[in-house]
Structure 1
Amino acid sequence: MFDLKTIAAGVASTAVGLAMCAQAAMAETTIRVQSVIPATADEIVMLKDFANDVRELTDGEVNIEVLPAGSVVGVQETLDAVDAGLIEGGFAWTHYWSGKHPAAMLFGSPVAGGGVGMDNIAFMSWFLSAGGKELYEQLWDEMDMNVVGFMLQPVGPEALGWFKEPIESMADFRKYRFRTPPGIPGQTYKDIGVASVAMGGGDILPALEKGTIDAAEWCCPKPDSVFGFQKVLKHYYLQGLHQVVVNADLYLNKDVFNGLTPLQQKAIEVAANASLMKSMAYRIHENGKALDKLVNEDGVILHDTPADYFTEYMNAANKALEKNAEENEFFAKVWQSQKDFAKTAVPFWAGAQTSNANLGRAYADQLKNE
């Protein structure tokens, strides 16, 4: 005969257990993400928007706390700190870690569009639909990093940069000590005789003011103006090849990520994918407004990049890509994947974009005549 008291006690015990499990599942998880750039940067605005999406998608269970550069470890130690669990997450451009593996450049900033004509939108197509994401996941194993990565913020093409005086040719360009990104994009400048100096974003303006460098690139009109380069230099060149495609990424310690529930993990993935589109939209609008202010209020003179730059840089970039492919099997695998994708995707996309470019140019010319 059943003992109703025993059954009731069992039911009550089970209910308490379930409630405790539910409460545990609802426990808040804080993920500290240290950036490699100052808190005022535009990328941090977008990173915080991503963090807000994650918090809302998880009903407040996962909170991403954004820390500025240097809060816990130095900029160059960011990825190692994530790997070791000193911080739960990091935010940077994956080409920053090219010293750990040359293929990092092919994901963070494939020099000259990977040598195969990819812009930032074509790159996203490769990443999301042609095997790039799976190779990106493999990168961390190749680097022996206990890390899970998420691409968040595509941008490109980046501006060639800022100069004291107009440059009419590569001979003029070679007169300057020029801030460049690290890795192959910066090395390619050295290969064509430019005095390339790699440094973090927050160090550029002080270096310009001190004369340590006398020309620089960072990104695009809005981020550049936030850093204040227009206070020191007035000649600006929009067209550059070194970072036609650039991606700012989130890195999470793999143990931390694996400790999340499947739904929480999916929320981060969905928010990351949403961030790709939201970042593109944000950048077009903000860069347009910033360029207008730079030219019409801040006295910046906009120039077209000298024609010989494109030939010299593209040739050197292709040599660098081929050299790294010969020396590293995984680099060759990733680059071959990009080349296979580009054979069919780039001719279509370039042709379609010609209409967009001509349409935009016609409107820009119309504005000049008003």
Structure 2
Amino acid sequence: MPWPRPRISSPRRSPRPTASRLAMAMVQPIISTPGGDPMTVDRRLTLAAAAGLIAAPTPARAQAARRWRMVTSWPKNLPGPGFSAQRIAERIATLSAGRIEVQVFAAGELVPAFAVQEAVGNATVELGHTASFFGIGREPASAFFTAIPFGFTPPEHAAWILQGGGQELWDETSRRFGFKPLMGGNTGVSMGGWFRRELHSAEDVKGLKIRMVGLGAELFQRLGATALAVPPADIYPALERGVVDAAEFTSPGADLQLGLWRIAPFYYTPGFNKPNGSSEFLVNRTLWDGLEPELKAVVEAACLAELTVALAEIERLNMEALALMVTSHGVKLRGFPADMLALARRHAGDLVRDLGTRSPMARKVADSYTAFQARITPWTRVSLHAALGAREA
């Protein structure tokens, strides 16, 4: 927005730029997609962050830019989480008016895909973008902050994190590992995975080798499969070489780029193992604790904006990718056998209860998660579930 020009006929000075005017001027170019098209974010978030920047004294704004590195668990330019990591980096630079510059590294460029949390926690790098359940081996409670089988949908998960005490529990869980976590986007409801052969009953799952991570991996093991934690970039070669017979990653928008349909053409739904796809954005804890309040607000606003943009983008990518897969790539869309779903649902309840016994923190988080799910499910049932049922009917 241009600043008002003084009138020639008036001796008064032109109005002084206010924080709100400066904030409004920053709204439009905040986000760009990997293709460079401008998008806008929630103006309330942007105004809050921008106003915080305006309040900073001039010498602080003029100092040399801080250069941070962000390592990720994703292949370069992967639709979904890869896009989210890049947009958050760009948005932090814009909202901070250049005070922070972020360089993004794909999985394997600086650290392996599953070592992001450790690299941020020990200050090898400043930032990370990953999924919390990659840390389930160090702390079982980590699983709840990405996805639980038959658990929260993306809106329900966001409600728990932002309004149900989830963020505070996430902070408590992560503090001893040396990082501050935030939601860094979401890949939405996942698909059930890619299979070389068709499934007709729960018996067909027994003996399968499947790429899967998080609690979903444990659930498939209880169904008789063998689950392997293969990094995203290695899923295709693992399928190609027969290391695994099936593989689950996220949803069509991201799965399409991996090309898994070339080897395993049966694409199963629903993704009961991962009904939510929340990404985890990490800041080294010492760095975060020493950060100025206005720059903390910048990072938080960048992540909150990405949650909205990522969910909108993945819905578009999913609808386009699924149509392409079915019409052009010979993908065979299938539903999991009813007896398998029933068995998986029973095992999932036992699994969540078991998870809560593995550490004091897991018990605390499990209690919060299950209590919030019990409270929100009646509303989901009479709102979204009922609306979709009526639409389909």
Query: Would the TM-score normalized by the shorter structure come out above 0.5?
Result: yes
Structure 2 alignment gaps of length 5 or more: 1-56
Structure 2 partner of 1:178: 210
* 1:97-176 equivalences in 2 (<5 Å): 97-113=135-151, 118-141=152-175, 144-176=176-208
Q: 2:76 aligned to 31, 39, 56, which one?
A: 39
Q: Aligned match of 2:92 in 35, 40, 54? A: 54
Confirm or deny: 8 A CA contact 2:114 2:231 kept in the other structure: no
Structure that is richer in helix per residue? 1
Q: Is the 8 A contact 2:207 2:224 kept in 1?
A: no
Give matches, 1:327-338, under 5 Å.
Answer: 327-338=358-369
Q: Deviations over 1:113-170 (max 9, x none)?
A: 0xxxx212111111110111111111113xx212111111223321111112221111
Q: Is the 8 A contact 2:208 2:224 kept in 1?
A: no
List structure 1 segments (4+ residues) > 6 angstroms apart after TM superposition: none
Whole-Å separation in 1 of the counterparts to 2:159 and 2:204 = 37
Q: Distance in 1 between matches of 2:223 and 2:363?
A: 23
How far apart in 1 are the matches of 2:276 and 2:115? 24
Per-residue deviation, residues 263-303 of structure 1 (Å, max 9, x unmatched): 11101101111111111111111101000000011111111
Aligned mates of 1:286, 1:160 — CA distance in 2 = 17
Residue 323 (structure 1) shift: 1.5
8 Å Cα contact 1:240-1:305 kept in structure 2: no
What is the 5 A alignment of 1:286-325?
A: 286-325=317-356
Distance 1:360 1:300, change over 3 A: farther
Please tell me whether the aligned partners of residues 110 and 246 of structure 1 are also in contact (alpha carbons under 8 angstroms). no
1:318–1:187 CA distance, 2 compared to 1 (3 A): same
CA distance in 1, matches of 2:370, 2:107: 35
How far the C-alpha of 1:78 sits from its partner, in A, is 2.1
Asked if the contact 1:180/1:218 (under 8 Å) is kept, the reply is yes
Amino acid at match of 2:164: A
Q: Select which of 129, 132, 156 maps to 1:94.
A: 132
Provide the rounded CA distance (Å) in 2 between the counterparts of 1:23 and 1:354. Answer: 51
Larger radius of gyration: 1
Question: Offset at 1:324?
Answer: 2.2
- Structure 1 gaps of 5+ residues are 1-19, 363-370
Deviations 1:183-206 (A, max 9, x none): 422112111211222211111100
Q: CA RMSD in A?
A: 1.9
In structure 2, the partner of 1:29 is 66
Q: What is the Cα deviation at residue 255 of structure 1?
A: 2.0
Asked if 1 retains the 8 angstrom alpha-carbon contact of 2:61 and 2:99, the reply is: no
Q: Deviations over 1:219-251 (max 9, x none)?
A: 111111111101212111121211112211111
Match of 2:110 in 1: 72
The alignment-based identity, stated in percent, is 24
Q: How does 1:167-246 map to 2 (within 5 A)?
A: 167-181=199-213, 183-246=214-277
Q: Does 1:273 align with 2:307?
A: no
Amino acid aligned to 1:44: G
The one-letter amino acid of 2:146's match is G
Report if aligned partners of 2:154, 2:186 keep a CA contact under 8 Å in 1: yes
Which secondary structure does the structure 1 equivalent of 2:267 belong to?
strand
Higher relative contact order (CA 8 A, sep 6+): 1
Cα deviations across residues 52-111 of structure 1 (Å, max 9, x unaligned)?
221111111112211011122223332222111111111110000001100000112223
Q: 1:327 to 1:48 in 2, by over 3 A?
A: closer
CA distance in 1, matches of 2:265, 2:334: 10
Measure how far apart 1:47 and its partner are: 1.7
Amino acid at match of 1:321: V
Q: Quick check: 42-51 or 73-82, which moved more?
A: 73-82
